[in-house]
Amino acid sequence: MRKPEKKEWNAIISCDSQFDHVFYYAVKTTGIFCRPSCKSKTPKFENVVIFKSRDEATEAGFRPCKRCKSGGVRVPDEEWVLDIKRYVRLNLSEPLTLNEIATYCHGSESHLHRTFKKVTGETIHHFVVHQKITFAKELLQNKNLEVQQVAEKVGFRNAAQFATLFKKKTGRSPSKYRNEVLK
């Protein structure tokens, strides 16, 4: 495991298939390894490590990419869904669109949506909203945070939009929820 050399980095950013099977790259923040030709979003240079083989990447704890099938075999759906859930939980302060989640988790939007529902019984949208509301409830227990700040910390740019969704899901406005919890 090492940082990419210039030619390897160029192969990654240009999705050069000539380097497939020459090396594999892994992204530390996702725990996934890919072929250089993978069409997924280009990772940040500082998050990339290089491996000579699939086995080396797997032994280091990385999982094969769903999109480029870097492991030579399909990743079980349950494992992929665990990766998706982890990504969502680590990025609750972001808007988290289906496209963004699919790109980051190396799959298509339709496949992600279908697989997530099949494995969990709920849609990815429902899961994201539930995680954001749960996190918002925790944040609202801090009386030093304004509702606008809580909204931003759970990925909403607009406090009114956050308050509407929060009330729809909990039956109370964020302020009312806070007052009840802090009594």
Tens-place pLDDT, residues 53-107: 888 998 999 988 877 776 665 667 887 898 899 889 989 999 899 988 988 777 7
Q: Please tell me which residue in 34, 38, 65, 68 is annotated as part of the active site.
A: 34
The verdict on whether 34 is a catalytic residue reads: yes
Q: How far apart are CA 136 and CA 122, in angstroms?
A: 20
Q: Are residues 84 and 38 in the same domain?
A: no
Q: Per DSSP, what are the bridge partners of residue 63?
A: 32
Give me the pLDDT at residue 78, please.
85
The 10s digit of each residue's pLDDT in 94-149 is 989 998 898 877 778 998 999 999 999 999 999 999 999 999 999 999 999 999 99
Q: Are residues 19 and 88 in the same domain?
A: no
Q: How far apart are CA 101 and CA 165, in angstroms?
A: 21
Going by the DSSP 8-state scheme, the letter that residue 72 receives in this structure is S
Q: How far apart are CA 149 and CA 24, in angstroms?
A: 41
Residue 81 lies in a domain: yes
- pLDDT, mean of residues 26-38: 90
Q: Are residues 58 and 144 in the same domain?
A: no
- Domain with residue 53: its CATH number is 3.40.10.10
Give me the pLDDT at residue 19, please.
87
Helices first, then strands: H and E counts in the chain: 9, 4
pTM assigned to the model: 0.66
What is the domain extent for residue 182? 76-183
